[in-house]
Amino acid sequence: MMSAIDWAIIAAYLVWIVWDGIRLTKNSSEIEGYFLANRSLPWWAVGLSVMATQLSAITMISSTGQGYAVGMGLLQQYYALPIAMIIIAVTFVPFFHNARIFTAYEYLERRFDAKTRSLTALLFLFSRGMACGAVVSAPAVVLSVIIGADITTICLLMAVPTAVYTMFGGVQAVAWTDVKQMYLIVFGLVAAAVALIVGLPDNVGVGEALALAGTTGRLQVFNFSTDPTIRYTFWTGTIGALFLFLSYFGTDQSQVQRYLTAKSVDEARTSLFMSAYWKIPLQALVMIIGVFTFLFYLFTPPPMLFNPAHDQRVRSSARATEYVGLEQQFGEAIAARKLAAEQFALAQRSGDAVARAAGTAAFAAQEQRVISVRGEAVALVKEASGDSSYNDINYVFPTFIVTHLPVGLVGLLMAAIFAAAMSTISGELSALSTTTVIDFYRRWIRDDGDQARLLRVSKMATLFWAVFASVVAIWAAELGSLIEVVNRFGSFFYGSILGVFLLAIGWKRANGTGAFVALFAGMGVVAYVTAYTQIAFLWHNLIGAVVVFVAGMIVSELVPSRPNNLKSEI
């Protein structure tokens, strides 16, 4: 349990960040200032804001859990990021910046028609609203581990206060708090890495520990398999993820809104390059923390299940005796694995090839024994609780924080997780509010130039999406690895959204009818692939984009019309 000092650190952080965000807000009494900060933010602030939005609580909680469970393979998802950033900097950034628009979807009406704009904006609202829910659920998972509170209550308590400072401060409050939160997040990650390394036994060095991780495949960062059902390979990370990043950074309002706040096209480009240079190293840091958490628990007994709620549920069920028996077997397997790990480290230091081979084989056998017993326990939990989707990967890192770190550092890391959550939630709520007001309220309901009314509607929209995200969060918390949940949500929509923008920019003969029909075709094909095939979700981005582009060309040729060409206007 957390101490009063840790809670005081968290409380002080929350009060300070909300006050400071609103304090730094300027000129937010008009739509241009509220939504785009009067396009006046420096490149470094925009770049840090972009990165803070990506380094969410999901990254700190779920990516570390992913690293613990399977290793560094998730890192392959980010290999295409630098390439995507270069493409976006050359194409989308100057296009949108020079168009002087509030949202990316305004462009689609100028290029095609109002229905294409509205449908695309609607797809964004659904995808980003659900992804925001996954972001809200991450800190809810943390607090449920710490204090055993109801996840529903925690989700509301997390989302609503964040909505309040976003409502009053606008995008400037979001950006400037992101800058400070980014520093805290990185500091927290480094502190966690240091604590894990210090927590290794005196007779096991860092190199020997990493060699242990290597024997389990957790240090593998390249998988060249061409099997489309494998989630993380070099090809999904360089091809499938390329389309994910092109859509996310090029057409997702939560990111487009960031670089529209920059002072110029050059500064917007520079802000994206910052993310291109630093995202992969930061993600690698997060993943290696997960690997070191695995190494820590080789020498410090872990719980058989990291989710305490399910653990207690099984203990009080008719299967309790069987569960206790498995727990005894697990303890024996953990002790044997620890001994094998220590012998492996000794063999590594000896330099004897035969001893190394024997140590590797012995450790691998004991690791497999632990996996087997834990697998039986998980199966028992699923049967006893009726929860076939049980997965405790999101509980691994929070459990380490609250049970093994000293007073003060626990509060610091909890504050960092809050910072990561709030930076992402606030940015996404701001984008959802902007799209709701600009692409729907002002376009279809009322556009009389009344700035005060638009601001009131914007604030109400922010509150609505905060509640929506909280409802999704309650569901998303039990779906498994949250980093995969948010990417599955995005991949379902992103390819089709990207496809309509590629059609708008890359095919001059495309028209509104073709684009509108193609969007439905793309979403339909992705829905079919998701439901009836085992193709990894990162490929859904490529599939959606290709289907929309090809279908748009065909329909535009069959039903010709004269498109509105925005290129001649900017």
**Alpha-helix runs per DSSP H in 100-150:** 104-111, 114-147
Asked whether the beta carbons of 212 and 345 are under 8 A apart, the reply is yes
Q: How many residues does the chain have?
A: 570
Give me 205's structure tokens: 């060095």
The DSSP bridge partners found for residue 41 are 262
Q: Which pairs from 464-467 meet CB under 8 Å and 24+ separation? A: 464/436, 465/129, 465/132, 465/163, 465/428, 465/429, 465/432, 465/433, 465/436, 466/159, 466/160, 466/162, 466/163, 466/425, 466/429, 467/156, 467/159, 467/160
CA distance 73 to 408: 32
Tokens encoding 488: 């599955």
Residue 460: count other Cβ atoms within 10 Å of its Cβ.
15
Q: What is the model's pLDDT at position 566?
A: 46
Residue position matching structure tokens 């049970």: 403
Enter the tokens of residue 162. Answer: 């964040």
Tokens of 514: 């073709």
pLDDT 10s per residue in the chain (570 long)? 678 898 899 888 888 888 877 776 665 667 888 888 888 889 998 988 888 877 777 788 888 988 999 899 888 888 888 999 999 998 888 888 888 889 999 999 988 999 999 999 999 998 888 888 878 876 777 677 666 667 777 777 777 778 888 888 888 888 888 888 888 889 989 999 999 999 999 888 899 999 999 999 999 988 888 888 887 888 888 888 888 888 888 888 988 888 889 988 999 999 988 888 888 899 899 999 999 999 999 999 999 988 877 778 888 888 888 989 999 999 999 999 999 999 999 988 887 888 889 989 999 999 999 999 999 988 888 888 776 767 788 888 988 998 899 999 988 988 888 888 888 888 899 999 999 999 999 999 988 777 888 888 998 999 899 888 888 877 765 555 555 666 677 788 888 999 999 999 888 889 999 999 999 999 999 999 988 988 888 888 899 999 999 999 999 989 876 545 444 343
Write down the pLDDT at residue 511.
Answer: 92
Q: Count of CB atoms within 10 A of residue 277's CB?
A: 13
Q: Is 187 exposed, middle or buried (0-12, 13-18, 19+ CB in 10 A)?
A: middle
Burial per residue of 537-564, b for 16 or more beta-carbon CB atoms within 10 angstroms, e otherwise: bbbbbbbbbbbbbebbbebbeeeeeebe
Q: What is the CA radius of gyration of the chain?
A: 25
Q: Are 136 and 475 in contact (CB under 8 A)?
A: no
Can you give the pLDDT at residue 563? 47
Helix then strand then coil, in percent of the chain rounded to 5, is: 80, 0, 20
**Phi, psi (5° rounding) for residue 200?**
-70, 150
Measured CA to CA in angstroms, residue 502 lies from 64, 418, 452 at distances of 35, 37, 36
Taking alpha carbons only, the member of 154, 145, 153, 149 closest to residue 307 is 145
Residue 261 carries which DSSP code? T
Return the DSSP state at 338. Answer: H
Output b/e per residue, 293-318; b: 16+ Cβ within 10 A: bbbbbbbeebbbbbbeebbeebeebe
* Cβ neighbours of 367 (radius 10 Å): 19
Q: Return d(Cα 425, Cα 20) in angstroms, integer.
A: 17
pLDDT at 337: 94
Q: How far is CA 341 from the centre of its chain?
A: 33
For 362, other C-beta atoms within 10 Å of its C-beta total: 18
The whole-angstrom separation of Cα 444 and Cα 446 is 6
Task: Give the SS3 label for residue 41.
Answer: strand
Which residue is it, tokens 């939504």? 35
Quick check: helix, strand or coil at residue 448?
coil
